[in-house]
Structure 1
Amino acid sequence: MALQHVIGLDHVVVSVRDLDTAASAWRALGFTISPRGTHSPHMGSANYTIMFGEDYMELLGVLAPTEHNAAMREWLAEQEGIERAAFTALDAAAGVAELQAMGVAAIGPIAFGRPVELPDGRMAEARFNVMRWPVGLRPGGLRIFACQHLTRENVWVPSLLRHANGATRILRLEMLTADPRAAAAEMGGLIAQSPRQEADGAWALPTGPNRADLVFLDRAILAARHPGVPLEGLPQEGAAALVLGTSDLAAAARALGVAPGATVAVPAARATGVLLRFLPG
């Protein structure tokens, strides 16, 4: 049975060493970037967001060392890229209780917020309750948590949803791992979903209706899925590729500077450690 209080992929966290440089890199790929936000002091971090219809990307950087960002700082010492993924929590406290009843030592809820500059110049606050799975549980190298949005209107701002590359949603997040079946099964046990094997041997795990799949695969399958895209800079184990839907594939190709007829994608070197691919959707 699927979780009742966690309903699907909410956003992916792209952890970076230089937040403003990362924002410039993603802006150059045709994304509309939110104004910079600074989290509550106990979080010790700041972010930019890239918003879609029901989900989004978060570019996250450390401002000051805190207990909360210790795992992120350890990870950033080795790499940049998608360090974790968040699911949408309808009720973070109930979600923690639900996972604990399954035998998962969930943590939370943890409350925090960040100021938001609205298009008309007014300042508002985005507030959240988050719940976490234990940090040591990283199927396919991916850390997970869930986020309850208390002020969605201050996050999904209409002017932030339009992108020059036509991006509309996250279709799938692809993780490199030596044993895709085992990693998918482990993740499935943490979110009460059943993985399915795809035709090319990858294992896909649905996260919820109309939300992105998590896909676990090896390097050979990843290369076959993204022909002509260099794989340098990707981890041996961990989140490697982000596949986005676009309402205009030609616009996405122009934004990325990709030749007509080629795979509409860029290597990790252009997207802070993430192989980025667009498909119609």
Structure 2
Amino acid sequence: MPLKHVLGIDHVMVTVRDLDASAAAWKRLGFTVSPRGTHSPHLGSGNYTIMFGEDYIELLGILTETEHNKPMRDFLKTREGVERVAFTTDDAAAGVAELQARGIAADGPVHFGRPVELPGGRVGEAKFNVFRWPLDENPGGLRIFACQHLTRETVWVPEWQSHANGATRIRRVEVLTADPKAAAAHLSRLIDEPASEVEGGWQVPSGGKRADVLFSEAAAFARRYPQAARTGTPPEGLASVVLESADVELTKAALGAEALAHDGAVSVPASAANGIVVSFVPQ
């Protein structure tokens, strides 16, 4: 029976070493980037968001070392990139209970918020309730959690949802793993969505009309992307985010020298996007 309180991928978290420099780099790729957010002293982190219609990309970096952000610091010792993906939940407490009833030791919910600089000089607050799946439940090396947005109006700000490169939504995230079938089955169990074999690997829908998760071996990933795009991706874990574009020619123009055209898609090399391939396909 499908989960009632897990509603598909909400956002992808790109963990970076230099938060402000990374935001500037993504702006050069034609993305509209929100003002920087600062989390609580306990979290010790900050972020920028890249907002689409129903989902988004988050650039996440450390501002102050704390015990809470040690796992992020350990991750950054090895590489930048995507350590976690968030799913939307409409009720974090109910989501925890739902998973625990199925024998999955979900942790939470936890409430937190951060100030938001809004257009026109106003300051609001973004508030969330979150829970996570157990840390050892990480299909293909990908950790997952769920986020309940309590103040969508301070996150999905219309002025931040239009991008010069034409991006409109996340269509797919791609995870490298030595055993795509097993990783897909693992995620399928965690979110109760069916895994199926597709060209290039095994795929799991995240729920509703949100992005799919594609698990691939390195050879299949290499067939999808040229070497120039793949250099810098991890041997395991999330290696590519596929976005829909309203106009691929507009995308090429916005990306300039970073645009790699191939098989009807336009991709940004992982070396220019904090360790992940960012690929654009027609919507």
Given the two structures, how large is their TM-score scaled by the length of structure 2?
A: 0.96
Corresponding residue SS for 1:239: strand
The C-alpha deviation readout for 1:199-224, integer Å capped at 9, x for no partner, is: 33x11100111100011001111111
- Is this contact kept in 2: 1:223–1:229, CA < 8 A? no
Using the alignment, how far apart are the partners of 2:66 and 2:125 within structure 1?
A: 22
Equivalence map 1:152-163=2 (5 Å): 152-163=152-163
Q: Which residue of 1 aligns with 2:124?
A: 124
Using the alignment, how far apart are the partners of 1:260 and 1:144 within structure 2?
A: 31
Q: Residue 279 in 1 paired to residue 267 in 2?
A: no
- Shift >4 Å, 4+ stretches: 259-263
Q: 1:183 to 1:260 in 2, by over 3 A?
A: closer
The C-alpha deviation readout for 1:113-145, integer Å capped at 9, x for no partner, is: 111111111100000000011122211111100
The C-alpha deviation readout for 1:146-184, integer Å capped at 9, x for no partner, is: 000000000000000000001000000000000000011
Given the two structures, how large is their TM-score scaled by the length of structure 1?
A: 0.96
Equivalence map 1:2-17=2 (5 Å): 2-17=2-17
Higher mean displacement: 120-129 or 63-72: 63-72
Using the alignment, how far apart are the partners of 2:43 and 2:146 within structure 1?
A: 16
Corresponding letter in the other structure for 2:268: V
Using the alignment, how far apart are the partners of 1:159 and 1:12 within structure 2?
A: 20
Could you tell me how far 1:229 is from its partner in structure 2? 3.9
Using the alignment, how far apart are the partners of 2:232 and 2:180 within structure 1?
A: 20
Using the alignment, how far apart are the partners of 1:276 and 1:106 within structure 2?
A: 30
Q: Which residue of 2 aligns with 1:252?
A: 251
The C-alpha deviation readout for 1:80-118, integer Å capped at 9, x for no partner, is: 011110000100011011111111111111111111111
Q: Which residue of 1 aligns with 2:207?
A: 208
- Is this contact kept in 1: 2:229–2:267, CA < 8 A? no
Q: Which ranges of structure 2 fall in alignment gaps of 5 or more residues?
A: none
Q: Which residue of 2 aligns with 1:137?
A: 137
Corresponding residue SS for 1:54: coil
Q: Residue 270 in 1 paired to residue 282 in 2?
A: no
Corresponding letter in the other structure for 1:221: A
Q: Residue 109 in 1 paired to residue 112 in 2?
A: no
Corresponding letter in the other structure for 1:125: E
Corresponding residue SS for 2:204: strand
Higher mean displacement: 98-107 or 148-157: 98-107
Q: Which residue of 1 aligns with 2:146?
A: 146
For the aligned residue pairs, the C-alpha RMSD in angstroms reads: 1.3
Corresponding residue SS for 2:136: coil
- Is this contact kept in 2: 1:9–1:88, CA < 8 A? yes
Q: 1:185 to 1:260 in 2, by over 3 A?
A: closer
Using the alignment, how far apart are the partners of 1:68 and 1:182 within structure 2?
A: 31
- Is this contact kept in 2: 1:229–1:265, CA < 8 A? no
Instruction: State the aligned residue count.
Output: 280
Corresponding residue SS for 1:256: helix
Using the alignment, how far apart are the partners of 1:234 and 1:60 within structure 2?
A: 18
Q: Which residue of 2 aligns with 1:232?
A: 231
Corresponding residue SS for 1:98: helix
- Is this contact kept in 2: 1:50–1:56, CA < 8 A? yes
Corresponding letter in the other structure for 1:143: R
Corresponding residue SS for 2:169: strand
Q: 1:261 to 1:100 in 2, by over 3 A?
A: closer
Using the alignment, how far apart are the partners of 2:261 and 2:39 within structure 1?
A: 41
Corresponding residue SS for 2:10: strand
Q: Which residue of 2 aligns with 1:40?
A: 40
Q: 1:36 to 1:280 in 2, by over 3 A?
A: same
Equivalence map 1:174-213=2 (5 Å): 174-200=174-200, 202-213=201-212
Could you tell me how far 1:70 is from its partner in structure 2? 2.2
Q: Which residue of 1 aligns with 2:242?
A: 243
Q: 1:234 to 1:124 in 2, by over 3 A?
A: same
The C-alpha deviation readout for 1:51-100, integer Å capped at 9, x for no partner, is: 00000000000122333322211111111011110000100011011111
- Normalized per residue, the structure richer in helix is 2
- Is this contact kept in 2: 1:171–1:243, CA < 8 A? yes
Q: Which residue of 2 aligns with 1:164?
A: 164
Q: Which ranges of structure 1 fall in alignment gaps of 5 or more residues?
A: none
Q: Which residue of 1 aligns with 2:73?
A: 73
